[in-house]
Homo-oligomer: A and B are copies of this chain.
């Protein structure tokens, strides 16, 4: 590792590029290809449900392609409807982009749409697509790829307020909770913004950095870039990644915790999960332990960090049992406990005691 002094001027990739998160051109045309299986269309469903106002329609290549209930549009019609980008909303079986999809994407590029992909296969691997994009003056975005020019983290405090969702495990509601909180804060008149750190979050927000794709030396720097300096009363609501208790990904969680400098933390957990996802023998930590360890780590870069709520997935529990559990956890830890999928997150927003932006 370079010393921090030397490393501060180090850059990934093209040093002339500033450390900008990806910025996507909305609204979107959702590309569903020839996919009929709903599980393979998870990304498209997510975008339809979270940002219906940013989706002009769906493009289905075949009659058997699943219908998401959106307007059917081809690229040319989507352009007329104001679309800026076509988003690949389906995962191809096998990983590589099928040739039928490649032809369709080429047509979208020629029509004037940016192409946005969260697939493992790079858009550059589609023959002729990059050249066609150059000719049409549109852009290809692989949201799984970290942007070039990310800096090393500095730990320097920056203005603005920040909330970060952290988890007892991976895949436990950190993105969903952050989205729900940002919505509720905005609805309450707070100057708040969702900040994406994973690919689906980036598609929803239209901007962000997929932290898991960043080179290790630049993780904290990427986390700092995701929620830049802002108005002292502005809130960034940052999507957490991984878990300090996950033996595969804890390093990412810690870098995000440090780079985010959160004022407020929300712990995401699951009422019935007992083991870390995919890691037999690794029990989920207790909530008290998870809060203590996250808080201790967060306080390296923000001494005022505190937990403001617990977001728990209670789905398998009957309504009454879920309510009892949430009341018990709220009492035990002295902060609100909600299930963002079943109830509203307002109690956590209230605990933040943030001022509406019109009261500034």
Q: Contact residues of A with B, CB < 8 Å?
A: 1-5, 7-8, 10, 120, 152-155, 170-171, 198, 211-217, 219-221, 241-242, 244-256, 258-259, 276-279, 281-282, 293, 296-297, 300-301
Q: Is B216 a contact partner of A301 (Cβ separation < 8 A)?
A: no
A216: chain B residues within 8 A (beta carbon): 211-216, 219, 251-252, 255
Contact A3 B171 (CB under 8 A): yes
Point out the residue from B152, B211, B248, B297 that lies within 8 Å of A7, measured CB to CB. Answer: B248
Tell me which of B213, B217, B254 contacts A217 (CB under 8 A): B213
Complex contact B255–A250 (CB within 8 A): yes
A256: shortest Cβ distance to chain B, in Å?
8
Check if A252 sits within 8 Å of B249, measured CB to CB: no
Cβ contact within 8 Å between B251 and A247: no
A4, A152, A259, A282, most chain B CB atoms within 10 A: A4
Contact between B1 and A276 (Cβ–Cβ < 8 Å)? no
Highest count of chain B CB atoms <10 Å: which of A2, A221, A242 = A2
Could you tell me if A278 and B3 are in contact, using CB atoms closer than 8 angstroms? yes
A258 to B242, CA, bound (A): 14
A-B pairs, top 5 by smallest CB distance, nearest first, are: A155-B247, A4-B278, A251-B255, A251-B251, A153-B248
Is there contact, CB below 8 Å, between A212 and B217?
A: yes
Contact across chains for B4 and A246 when beta carbons are under 8 A apart: yes
The minimal Cβ–Cβ distance linking A223 to chain B, given in whole angstroms, is 9
Give 13 A-B pairs besides A1-B249, A4-B248 with Cβ atoms closer than 8 angstroms: A1-B212, A1-B241, A3-B171, A4-B170, A153-B249, A155-B247, A212-B217, A213-B215, A216-B252, A216-B255, A245-B300, A250-B255, A250-B300
